[in-house]
């Protein structure tokens, strides 16, 4: 039976004549636990814990929508019970939610353990995320779209990978440019770099972090990895965390951008903030280096916030 197709709902400030971005990716319920002491195995460790909306794809969409200059839409799959809350949070961030409710799987959940250095470790239950499939796709989702962005998490399950391929082929047929964030060094190790690289033929912009870029190329220097990847994907931007970002075009590093200083409390979503701000800046006319600078500013802001989104949200109601 065909999956229930997503329905469109208006978001604040959307629907104008400017550029439009479709993001396909994960929508997640984040449980963020910040602890200053080392974890105590087998007993309690004091932490500050919050329940927040997250997911790399959804976070990218929210950061891209900030400022209201780009019409941003998000296609994702969530558990039916949580669909309303996630739609509300996306709309409040200026994103048009195109969420497919799943009756058989809950919304993905991630437990983010954030230590005193603001570094985070994830425990991931993919839930409905990787159940998104070609049945959830319609070429009409690209109507009016300027650019398509895919979360790399889609590549690591058969059904979601098939959707990613279909969406990229549809975008190519309409001359819609495509970007991809490889998403996870851990998943790249599991799947294998050659398998991930094989999915990049229709990608125009690649936004890996340094670990992902090095894994995909087998090189140890992120600059060398960026240059090599840009021979395959014309514009490759490698994020370096607190060290900024590298821009590589057609086989050469063309810019290195440094971020502003900030006091980090939680690094969750910093890369998503970079990607969202970078894409919005590019879609509104910035050159790659200037767009990377916007991305660095967003990433520096993101690490000062709890969770991966630019806006404060209201936790879900129990019961």
**3 state SS of 310:** coil
Residue 6: its pLDDT value, please? Answer: 54
Backbone phi, psi, residue 238, to 5°: -100, 120
Q: Which residues neighbour 155 within 8 Å (Cβ) at sequence distance 6 or greater?
A: 161, 164, 183, 187, 191, 196, 199
Which structural domains are found in the chain, ordered by start?
A: 20-38+47-302 (3.40.1190.20)
pLDDT for position 313: 47
Residue 190's pLDDT is what?
86
Q: What is the pLDDT of residue 17?
A: 58
pLDDT at 9: 45
Show the DSSP H helices in the chain as ranges: 56-65, 80-92, 158-173, 185-191, 193-197, 210-217, 222-232, 270-283, 288-302
pLDDT of 265: 81
Element holding 108 (H helix, E strand): strand 108-114
Distance in angstroms (rounded) separating the CA atoms of residues 49 and 31: 7
- C-alpha angle 12/14/19, rounded to 5°? 145
Is residue 108 a contact partner of residue 77, using CB atoms and an 8 Å limit? no
At residue 318, the pLDDT reads: 42
pLDDT average per 10 residues of sequence, the chain (319 residues): 44 60 96 90 92 95 95 98 96 97 96 85 90 96 98 92 97 97 87 93 96 96 98 97 95 96 84 97 97 96 90 49
| The pLDDT value given to residue 2 | 35
């Amino acid at each position: 039976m065909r999956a229930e197709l997503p329905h469109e709902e208006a978001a604040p400030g959307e629907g104008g004549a400017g550029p439009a971005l479709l993001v396909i990716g994960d929508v997640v319920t984040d449980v963020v636990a910040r602890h200053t002491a080392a974890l105590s195995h087998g007993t309690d460790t004091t932490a500050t814990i919050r329940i927040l909306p997250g997911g790399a794809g959804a976070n990218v969409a929210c950061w891209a929508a900030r400022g209201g200059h780009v019409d941003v839409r998000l296609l994702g799959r969530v558990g039916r019970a949580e669909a309303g809350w996630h739609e509300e949070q996306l709309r409040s961030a200026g994103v048009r939610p195109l969420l497919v409710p799943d009756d058989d799987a809950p919304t993905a959940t991630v437990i983010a353990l954030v230590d005193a250095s603001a570094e985070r470790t994830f425990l991931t239950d993919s839930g409905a995320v990787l159940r998104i499939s070609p049945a959830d796709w319609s070429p009409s989702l690209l109507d009016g779209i300027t650019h398509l962005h895919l979360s790399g998490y889609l590549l690591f399950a058969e059904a979601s990978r098939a959707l990613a391929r279909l969406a990229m082929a549809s975008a190519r047929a309409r001359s819609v440019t495509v970007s991809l964030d490889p998403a996870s060094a851990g998943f790249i190790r599991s799947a294998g770099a050659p398998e991930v690289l094989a999915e990049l033929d229709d990608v125009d912009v690649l936004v890996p972090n340094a670990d992902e870029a090095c894994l995909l190329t087998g090189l140890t220097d992120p600059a060398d990895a960026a240059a090599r990847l840009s021979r395959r994907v014309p514009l490759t931007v490698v994020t370096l965390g607190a060290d900024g970002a590298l821009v590589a075009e057609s086989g050469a590093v063309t810019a290195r951008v440094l971020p502003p200083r900030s006091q980090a409390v939680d690094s969750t979503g910093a890369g998503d903030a970079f990607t969202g701000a970078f894409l919005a800046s590019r879609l509104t006319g910035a050159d790659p280096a200037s767009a990377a600078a916007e991305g660095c500013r967003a990433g520096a802001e993101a690490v000062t916030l709890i969770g991966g989104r630019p806006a404060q949200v209201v936790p879900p109601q129990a019961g």
